Every structure is written in C-alpha cells, then in structure tokens.
Amino acid sequence: MTKAKWSSLGLSFLVILALVLWLATGDIHQARDQAPAEPEAAAVELPRVQVQSLEARVYQPTIRLQGQLQPWRTVDISARASGTVEQLHVSLGQTVEAGERLLTLSTDGRDTVVERWQASVRKLEADLAAARRLRTNNLAAENEILGLQSDLSAARAELTAARLTLEHLQPEAPFTGTINRRDVDPGTLVQVGSPLFELVQIERLKATAQVPQQQVRRVALGQAVDVRLLDGRQLAGEVRFVASAADPQTRSFELEVVVDNPEGLRVAGGSASLRILLPEQPATFISPAFLALDEQGRPGVKHVNADNRVVFTQVNLLSVGTDGAWVTGLPDEIRLITRGAGFVAEGERVEPVESGGQRS
C-alpha cells in the first residue's frame, strides 16, 4: 500500500474508535411513551375588592310633608235678628258647650207679637170647634169650616215665625268650642247678618298638606301620621282624605289629616311637619356613596355573590339622608363592595376582603 492509503485508513480507524468510546461512556437517551408534562402556568392574581357584610332589617318607610294646622271646626256666628246687645253671656277665650247661650238682644216688642198670635190661634181653634159642632146639625156651611181651617194654619205659621225670632234674639253655640273672636259689646246695635263671634274647636285639629304625584300612590286612608310642631312636641294623627285629582298648577294632591289635641294646645293656624307612616318592610341600610347607576340611569349597588363574582343589583330608594339610604331589592344578606367597585366589572371574579382585613 502506498503511504496515502495508510494515512486514510488510519484516520478512519481513529474516527471509529472515538465513536465506540463515545457510545460506551455517553448518556443513553430512550424514547418515552408519553410526552413530558408541560410546565405549570403561573397562578393568575385576582383583583381584590373590599367588602362589607350587610343584612336586611325591618324598616318602616315614611313620607315627609310640610303641612298647615287648622281648627277642626270654625264658624262665624252672625245675627239672625236685629236688635241691641243687652247682655253678653261669654267672654273671649271661654270654652262653651253646644247649645249654650252666647248673648241676648233686645226684644223691641217682639214678645208681644208672640202673645198676639197665640191669642189668635186659640180663638181660631175655638171658632173651628164650634163650626164643626154646628156642621153636624147642618147649621154651618162647609166653606165656613174650610175658611176657619185656613185662617188657623196661617196663624200657627205666624206664631212659629214669631217664636223663632225670639229664639234668634238669644243665639246659641252650634258646637262645643272656644270663643276665638268677639265683634260686639253691650249696647251694640246689630242687623241681620252682623258678625257676633268666631267659635273654634281645637280639641281636634285638621292638618292639610300637598302630596307629590310620585308618592300619592303610597298614601291610603287610615294611615298613622306623626305631627311634629315647631317647638318639637308631637301629636298623633290619621289620614282622613286624599284628593282624587291633582291641583292643575302644582301637580300635587291635597291631603287632610285629623289630629288629636287632647291638651288643647294653641297651635291651630301654625305650620307642622307631617310624617306619614307606611307599612313595614325589609330593607338594607347603605351609604349613598356606594350607589351607582346602570346604563339606563337606574340606581343600584355592586356586591359579591357566593362564587366571588361581581353582581350589580338595581335597588328602590325608600329614603335618602346624609347618614345613609334605605333601599329594597337586594338579597337578605350581601357582601357589599365598599372599595374597588370602579375597577371591576359585573361578572368578574374577584378576591373579596372584609373591611377588617380578612379574606372572605
């Protein structure tokens, strides 16, 4: 062999020897029946929101109105006959009973008119009786008897009118009340229709107010009403009238409340705050800051359900104040989102954290 061939043979021998040594000492890789497990993905961190557990409570909603107090009954007593005031039987501020005499006017001879008609009635009654006796013996005509009957009826009517005029000279109280105004003094000459007294009844009062059209459907006859006076005292009342039609200018409905005033407080004519008590119902008390609006502009709140997902629930506002709002429409128990509601969407899964710092 030539020298070149020996060199090529030697190089081949060295390569084969190196391959054998590598196979003998290197790692042996075998095929696996299953593919290697993929590396676990890093856990996704859920957004955290702060929540507060709330429970529904029994709440009595109210309607607050500004009203006006009036006497239960007021009447201006006027003269029904002319005359001079001879005597006053009552004074200002005095409480009088129904039927009690208030004053006496001069008779001016009207008592003699009564006596004259009384005499006329007695004479006509006697003449009629005699004519009837004669009629039984055909000694009196039927026309004569009919004429006497007509005259007697007219005389009796005149006697009734004369007696009524005498009664009008001593006017009486139409109901139990208090003399609130006096327009005459002894010696005052009055004519028919002249004002004499103003009589008011304040043992019961009447409160009037206007109910907005948005709330009138919630008002019913017989509902209890708390009446708060300007000095802080309270009276109890009850709804007795609600107008069937609204005022065309204010679009509100007239309301009338009967108010008990057993102590006779002098509050008639003043203003008062009315609080109509509506039926009790379960409601949730929340801060107005947690209220939000949906796309239709309806109020609601965001809270977390049992799956830790964000839920938006519409609510009905019963009352709203600076300290909080009473709402209905929520479940009996909720986890209200108090912080972070603006950064999470409805249906999104979150990690709720109680206000005290504990995860829920």
Quick one: pLDDT at residue 293? 87
Q: Considering only CA atoms, give the Rg of the chain.
A: 50
CB atoms within 10 A of CB 114: 19
Q: Each residue's pLDDT tens digit in the chain (360 positions)? A: 555 554 555 556 666 666 656 555 655 555 455 555 555 544 578 889 999 999 999 999 899 999 999 999 999 999 999 999 999 999 999 999 999 999 999 998 888 888 899 999 898 888 888 877 776 666 567 777 788 888 889 989 999 999 999 999 999 999 999 999 999 999 999 999 999 999 999 999 999 999 999 899 999 999 999 999 999 999 999 999 999 999 999 999 999 999 999 998 999 999 999 999 999 999 999 998 898 888 888 999 999 999 999 999 999 988 888 788 999 999 999 999 999 888 888 999 999 998 755 555
Contact 207, 274 (CB under 8 A): yes
What are the CA-CA distances from residue 19 to residues 8, 16, 29, 160 (Å)? 17, 5, 16, 153
pLDDT at res. 342? 86
pTM for this predicted structure: 0.65
Question: Which long-range contacts (C-beta less than 8 Å, at least 24 apart) are formed by 32-41?
Answer: none
Q: Domains of the chain by range and CATH?
A: 49-57+282-354 (2.40.420.20), 64-71+201-277 (2.40.30.170), 107-168 (1.10.287)
Secondary structure of the chain in the HEC alphabet?
CCHHHHHHHHHHHHHHHHHHHHHHHCCCCCCCCCCCCCCCCCCCCCCEEEEEEEECEEECCEEEEEEEEEEEEEEEEECCCCEEEEEECCCCCCEECCCCECEEECCCCHHHHHHHHHHHHHHHHHHHHHHHHHHHCCCCCHHHHHHHHHHHHHHHHHHHHHHHHHHHCCCECCCCEEEEEECCCCCCEECCCCEEEEEEEEEEEEEEEEEECCCHHHCCCCCEEEEECCCCCEEEEEEEEECCCCCCCCCEEEEEEEEECCCCCCCCCCEEEEEEECCCEEEEEECHHHCEECCCCCEEEEEECCCCEEEEEECEEEEECCCCEEEECCCCEEEEEEECHHHCCCCCECEEEECCCCEC
Nearest to 211 by CA among 244, 187, 186: 244
The pLDDT value recorded for residue 41 is: 46
